[in-house]
Amino acid sequence: MDDESEKIYEVQPHRLRIRELPRALRPREEFERLGAQGVSDTVLLALLLRTGTVERNVVEVAQTMLAHFGSLTALAKAPIKAIQKIEGVGPVKAQMIQAALELAQRLSRESVGRNPLVRGPEQAAAVLRERARVLDREVLWALFLNRKSELICEPQQLSEGTFSSSLVDPRVIFKEALERAAHAVILLHNHPSGDPTPSEQDINITKQLIEAGRIMDIRLLDHVVLGRRREGQASDFVSLREAGLVEFC
Contacts with 173 (C-beta within 8 Å, 6 or more apart), sequence order = 142, 158, 185, 187, 209, 212
pLDDT tens-digit map of 23-69: 556 888 888 888 888 889 999 999 999 888 888 888 889 999 999 98
What's CA 55's distance to the chain center, in Å?
A: 33
- Per DSSP, helices labelled H in the chain are 3-8, 27-34, 41-49, 58-69, 72-77, 80-84, 91-112, 121-133, 170-179, 200-216
Domains of the chain as residue ranges with CATH: 3-109 (no CATH), 115-239 (3.40.140.10)
What's CA 205's distance to the chain center, in Å?
A: 25
Burial class (CB in 10 A: 0-12, 13-18, 19+), 45: buried
Cα-flanking dihedrals φ and ψ of residue 159, to 5°? -155, 165
CB-CB neighbours of 2 under 10 Å: 6
pTM of the model: 0.65
pLDDT tens-digit map of 218-231: 999 999 999 987 76
70 — pLDDT class (breaks 50, 70, 90): confident
Query: In 133-155, which positions are buried (b, 16+ CB within 10 angstroms) versus exposed (e)?
Result: bbeeebbbbbbbbeeebbbeeeb
197 — pLDDT class (breaks 50, 70, 90): very high
Tell me what pLDDT residue 204 has.
92
Tell me what pLDDT residue 8 has.
38
Tell me what pLDDT residue 246 has.
94
Does position 10 have pLDDT exceeding 60, yes or no? Answer: no
> Do 185 and 177 contact (CB within 8 A), yes or no?
yes
pLDDT tens-digit map of 199-209: 999 999 999 99
By mean pLDDT, which of 7-21, 127-141, 177-191, 232-246 is the weakest? Answer: 7-21
Tell me what pLDDT residue 230 has.
72
Amino acid (one-letter) located at 228: R
CA dihedral over 111, 116, 117, 119, signed as positive or negative:
positive
Higher-pLDDT residue of 62, 12? 62
Tell me what pLDDT residue 167 has.
61
pLDDT tens-digit map of 101-129: 888 877 766 655 567 889 999 999 999 99
Helix 41-49 with 27-34: angle, nearest 10 deg = 130
